[in-house]
Amino acid sequence: MRYFVELKYDGAAYCGWQRQPHSLSVQQTIEQALSKILRSPTEIVGAGRTDTGVNASYYVAHFDTVAEFDHGQLLYKLNMMLPADISLDSITRVADDAHARFDAREREYTYFVSPTKNPFRRNSAWMYYIPLDIARMNEAAEVLLHNDDFTSFAKLNSNNKTNICHIYDCRWSEEADGILRFTIRADRFLRNMVRSIVGTLVDVGRGRYTVAEFAEIVMARDLSRSSAGAPAQGLFLSDIVYPADIFEKRTFNNFK
């Protein structure tokens, strides 16, 4: 039997979602707790990988088991056993061929930039003190909607079959407390793509690049043309969408 799990995590202490031989990952941490409670080695498959230090305010994974269990009790026991930086929000029975990664149709990332020193956001935003022109960054972000090859923002040697992605929405906004928020939604993302885009758009906002120069960077399909990637702590995987017949969201992201 297959189950989907909705969860969230603070990625600061982890090498990312995916299990690694010599570093602690979110996947490994959950698998250890799940296997202990179910009394059987249990693998959990995530909706996608997140890099070292990147967070997820909404994430989905699946696991298989023949064990009978009470959903509420299992959820309670897992959350008691897991460290404070990982929480599981729901466990839902799905079709045996439903897949947390391959069935996902859209993903959304959110990035936060703090223009002032903020001790309460030091682990969840990029402290960036140079004034930024949000209107100009939004004008540049619109360029992304009219392109589908993002080689200029793709990490080298990632073994991608293609660097083609379809971006459905991307925009900057300002929160009531002055925090800048960048939201981007697409069918898929390349490794390090969002952080590279944010770093380059911030350089547009500070006046290093014009909007026209940003468009040239996108169309150059050359990673050396883009800016350094933004720091990991400001990035959150914030939504994953599945066809309704595969999985309907049970919980909602309260960090968006």
How would DSSP label each residue in 65-113? Answer: ------HHHHHHHHHHHS-TTEEEEEEEEE-TT--TTTT--EEEEEEEE
The fold for domain 2-103 equals Alpha-Beta Plaits (3.30.70)
Residue 83's pLDDT band, with cuts at 50, 70 and 90, is: very high
What is the percentage of the chain residues whose pLDDT exceeds 70? 97
CATH of domain 106-237: 3.30.70.660
pLDDT digits (tens, 9 = 90+) for 187-232: 999 999 999 999 999 999 999 999 999 999 999 999 999 999 999 9
pLDDT digits (tens, 9 = 90+) for 114-173: 999 999 999 999 999 999 999 999 999 999 999 999 999 998 766 678 999 999 999 999
What is the percentage of the chain residues whose pLDDT exceeds 90? 90
Query: In whole angstroms, what is the distance from residue 11 CA to residue 25 CA?
Result: 9
- For position 98, what pLDDT does the model report? 98
Query: In whole angstroms, what is the distance from residue 3 CA to residue 96 CA?
Result: 8
Q: Exactly one of 10, 51, 203, 239 is catalytic; name it.
A: 51
Q: Do domains 2-103 and 106-237 have the same CATH topology?
A: yes
pTM score > 0.85 for this model? yes
- Domain ranges in the chain? 2-103, 106-237
* 10 belongs to the catalytic site: no
pLDDT digits (tens, 9 = 90+) for 65-74: 999 999 999 9
